[in-house]
Amino acid sequence: MKKAVIFDLDNTIYPVNSIAGNLFNGLFAVLDQNAHSINQTDNDAVSKIKEEMTRRPFQYIADKYGLDEDIRNEMTGVLRNMTYNEPMRPFDDYHHLRKISFDKYLVTTGYLKLQYSKVRQLGIENDFTEIVVVDPDVSNKTKKDVFAGIMEKYGYTPQDLLIIGDDPDSEIKAALSLGIDTFLFDPTGRYHGEASTHRSNNLKDALNVLSLF
């Protein structure tokens, strides 16, 4: 029987595209201003970077596309001090999951100030036993490290946990490597053959998964 659920934040509890315009306008302007020097072998690199910024932490994107040091530093300087203070709302189905009796944890990757401001604006800070922000800017820890740490701290086995997230290359992959069951939330049908114990385009279906155990 499951004892606890670990949630991702971005695109799992709320849709990033609902705040992307307000959040990323300044950063997207930096990309546009430097488009001539970004990955000159790919004419669509800037568009791809903008799209990925709604799904993945900036540090990983900067490495993937080889952003030069000046661009990286300018964007990092903005992101380190960025907060989001406009109204936010979770996915409609999240209210079903916030009521479950399992212990709940939130593990998210990103800049500390920004991620905690999102949690505050969503009004979900009291939903979780613990909230952990994995910030690659200040730590070499990964989500796998955090999941292992939660098991050690609270005495869980891998069989006790379910990880709910939207990224098969991040929290889903990390959890599977530890033998933890996963629920891949894929509302737009982006993924197909990627590994996950369970998957659905409906967040509420995680309740059905939990009832199996």
Q: Is the pLDDT confidence value at 212 over 90?
A: no
pLDDT at 42: 65
Q: Does the CA dihedral 156-149-162-129 come out positive or negative?
A: positive
Tell me, yes or no, whether 113 and 182 share the same domain: yes
Q: Could you read off the pLDDT of 55-78 as tens digits, one per residue?
A: 888 888 888 888 888 888 888 888
* C-alpha span between 26 and 6 (Å, rounded): 32
At 141, which CATH number?
Answer: 3.40.50.1000
Helix (H) or strand (E) holding 163: strand 161-165
Please name every residue paired with 108 in a beta bridge, in sequence order, or none if there are none. Answer: 133
Tell me, yes or no, whether 31 and 103 share the same domain: no
Tell me, yes or no, whether 125 and 177 share the same domain: yes
How would residue 23 be classed by pLDDT, with cut points 50, 70 and 90?
confident
Domain-ending residue, one of 80, 98, 129: 80
Residue holding tokens 């530890």? 178
Tell me, yes or no, whether 97 and 67 share the same domain: no
Domain-ending residue, one of 39, 64, 80: 80
Tell me, yes or no, whether 75 and 97 share the same domain: no
Number of domains present in the structure of the chain: 2
Tell me, yes or no, whether 67 and 127 share the same domain: no
Q: Is the pLDDT confidence value at 200 over 90?
A: yes
Tell me, yes or no, whether 134 and 68 share the same domain: no
Q: Could you read off the pLDDT of 101-141 as tens digits, one per residue?
A: 999 999 999 999 999 999 999 999 999 999 999 998 888 99
Q: Could you read off the pLDDT of 143-184 as tens digits, one per residue?
A: 999 999 999 999 999 999 999 999 999 999 999 999 999 999
* C-alpha span between 119 and 110 (Å, rounded): 12
Tell me, yes or no, whether 134 and 42 share the same domain: no
Tell me, yes or no, whether 60 and 98 share the same domain: no
Tell me, yes or no, whether 11 and 39 share the same domain: no
Tell me, yes or no, whether 178 and 109 share the same domain: yes
Enclosing domain of residue 32: 20-80
